[in-house]
């Protein structure tokens, strides 16, 4: 039986063309056989993009330092659960700086293959566009929005040496020491900074801003008394509050948290309507294959519905709040529009 070899340009594999009766045929017959074999060869590995995803480890960028920050805590919890579900290691990569915008830009410019993901949060994606004139990425168009996972209320807490036990006493203290009471942030222009600046306006007080490169570092200095107050995600501070290492003054949400039902909101304590919260989700670079985004969303939806994960979130003060790709994209767009006039009115500028 005679065979004529032909190479597949996709796989490089050599496939034979076989004459049925072993007889030599005219060139046209052999040419037709070669074309058919070539088509079959190239069609064999032609699965939809992302069908074999993931085939190697995935990098999950957390745009803040490692430590006791809301985003690092939730990012590592998500990474561990995605590793178990995907069968490939999801490795956390902390890339901090500029209130999360450095790590976010890194992912926006990464190869759109699903192997570089971002823990997406409000500070860089919702507040950042109004603070930084040269942000380096567009939160709406430069990402494939995979899923929003949770929302996190903010809490205002102080060092134990601060002589204030609630919001009213803290306002009185700040008014008695204009410009002397200090507050921390995880970086200029981030949501924690915005929380305290909004508080200054609402309460009519003057306080000194001390920016850090992440919530974990800021928390250390509030615990030690280097800085007096910190308003950030309840996830980042709940363990210290429950252990008695920090004193919570009020929750920056419109309703109390099931985690601390006895802690009144700031709105309840004389500042009606005061609300600052954050959210956590996962995004990938724009143009990531739709099949990959679909796979990731499906796994994240299952994780978010898992009772153990729900209990974990609620134990840190967060609440599951799943959104799919299109809804999450629209939500980020609305968040940008919400924060723009606030940032302009307060006059936050990069430092």
- CATH number of the domain within which 225 lies: 3.40.190.10
* pLDDT < 70: residue spans in the chain: 1-50, 68, 351
Range of the domain at 301: 58-151+279-346
Share of the chain above pLDDT 70, in %: 85
CB 281 within 8 A of CB 120: yes
Facing residues of 116 across strands?
Answer: 59
Is residue 100 assigned to a domain?
A: yes
Sign (positive or negative) of CA dihedral 140, 145, 151, 156: negative
Tally of domains in the chain: 3
**Helix, strand or coil for residue 288?**
coil
Same domain, 118 and 170: no
Q: How far is CA 19 from the centre of its chain?
A: 59
Is residue 48 assigned to a domain?
A: no
What does the block give as tokens for 287?
């143009």
The phi, psi pair for 231, rounded to 5°, reads -115, 110
From residue 305, give the alpha-carbon distance in Å to each of 28, 145, 310, 311, 319.
60, 19, 7, 10, 12
Is residue 274 assigned to a domain?
A: no
Residue 312 sits in a domain whose CATH number is: 3.40.190.150
**Helix, strand or coil for residue 58?**
strand
| pLDDT number for residue 21 | 42
Is residue 292 assigned to a domain?
A: yes
| pLDDT number for residue 48 | 56
- Supply the DSSP string of 120-184, one letter for each residue: EEHIIIIIHHHH-SS-SS-TTTSEEEEEEEEEEEEEEEEETTSS-SSHHHHHHHHHHSTTTSEEE
Same domain, 11 and 29: yes
Q: Which of 212, 240, 269 is the last residue of a domain?
A: 269
**Tokens 């996962």 label which residue?**
282
Same domain, 147 and 166: no
Same domain, 87 and 14: no
Same domain, 140 and 157: no
Q: Which of 269, 294, 317 is the last residue of a domain?
A: 269
Same domain, 308 and 166: no
Which phi-psi region, left, alpha or beta, contains residue 320 (left: φ > 0; alpha: ψ -120 to 50)?
Answer: beta
Is residue 66 assigned to a domain?
A: yes
Same domain, 170 and 209: yes
Q: Which of 269, 300, 315 is the last residue of a domain?
A: 269
| pLDDT number for residue 196 | 96
Residue 112 CB contacts under 8 Å (≥ 6 apart), including other chains: 144, 284, 285, 286, 287, 288, 289
209, with CB counted inside 10 A (0-12, 13-18, 19+), is middle
Q: Helices 307-316 and 234-242, interaxial angle, to 10°?
A: 70
pTM of the model: 0.79
| pLDDT number for residue 140 | 98
Is residue 51 assigned to a domain?
A: no
Same domain, 86 and 159: no
Interval 210-247: pLDDT, tens: 999 888 899 999 999 999 999 999 998 999 999 999 99
Is residue 351 assigned to a domain?
A: no
Is residue 236 assigned to a domain?
A: yes
CB 280 within 8 A of CB 215: no
H helices present in the chain, as ranges: 27-43, 70-86, 101-108, 122, 128-131, 167-176, 191-203, 215-224, 234-242, 290-305, 307-316, 325-346
| pLDDT number for residue 300 | 98
Same domain, 140 and 169: no
Same domain, 132 and 166: no
Same domain, 225 and 160: yes
Give CA angle at 341 (335, 345), nearest 5°. 140
Same domain, 265 and 298: no
Facing residues of 144 across strands?
Answer: 284
H helices present in 211-275, as ranges: 215-224, 234-242
């Amino acid at each position: 039986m005679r065979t004529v070899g032909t190479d597949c340009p996709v796989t490089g594999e050599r496939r034979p063309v076989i004459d049925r009766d072993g007889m030599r045929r005219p060139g046209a017959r052999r040419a037709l056989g070669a074309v058919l074999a070539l088509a079959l060869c190239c069609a064999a590995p032609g699965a939809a993009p992302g069908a074999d995803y993931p085939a190697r480890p995935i990098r999950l960028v957390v745009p803040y330092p490692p430590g006791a920050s809301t985003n690092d805590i939730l990012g590592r919890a998500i990474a561990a659960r995605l590793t178990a579900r995907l069968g490939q290691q999801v490795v956390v990569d902390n890339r901090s700086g500029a209130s999360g915008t450095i790590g976010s830009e890194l992912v926006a410019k990464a190869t759109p293959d699903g192997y570089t993901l971002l823990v997406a949060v409000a500070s860089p994606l919702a507040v950042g566009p109004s603070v930084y004139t040269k942000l380096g990425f567009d939160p709406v168009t430069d990402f494939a929005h995979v899923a929003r996972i949770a929302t996190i209320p903010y809490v205002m807490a102080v060092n134990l040496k601060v002589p204030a036990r609630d919001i009213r006493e803290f306002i009185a203290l700040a008014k008695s020491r204009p410009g002397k009471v200090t507050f921390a942030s995880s970086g200029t222009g981030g949501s924690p900074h915005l929380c305290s600046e909004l508080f200054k306006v609402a309460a009519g007080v003057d306080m000194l801003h001390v920016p850090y490169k992440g919530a974990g570092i800021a928390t250390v200095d509030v615990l030690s008394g280097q800085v007096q107050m910190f308003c950030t995600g309840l996830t980042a501070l709940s363990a210290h509050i429950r252990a008695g290492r920090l004193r919570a003054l009020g929750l920056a949400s419109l309703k109390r948290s099931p985690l601390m039902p006895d802690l009144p909101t700031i709105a309840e304590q004389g500042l009606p309507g005061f609300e600052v919260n954050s959210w956590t989700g996962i995004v990938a670079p724009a143009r990531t294959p739709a099949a990959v985004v679909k796979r990731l969303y499906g796994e994240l939806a299952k994780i978010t519905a898992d009772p153990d994960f729900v209990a974990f979130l609620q134990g840190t003060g967060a609440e599951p709040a799943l959104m799919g790709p299109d809804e999450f994209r629209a939500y980020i767009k609305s968040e940008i529009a919400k924060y723009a006039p606030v940032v302009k009115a307060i006059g936050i500028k990069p430092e």
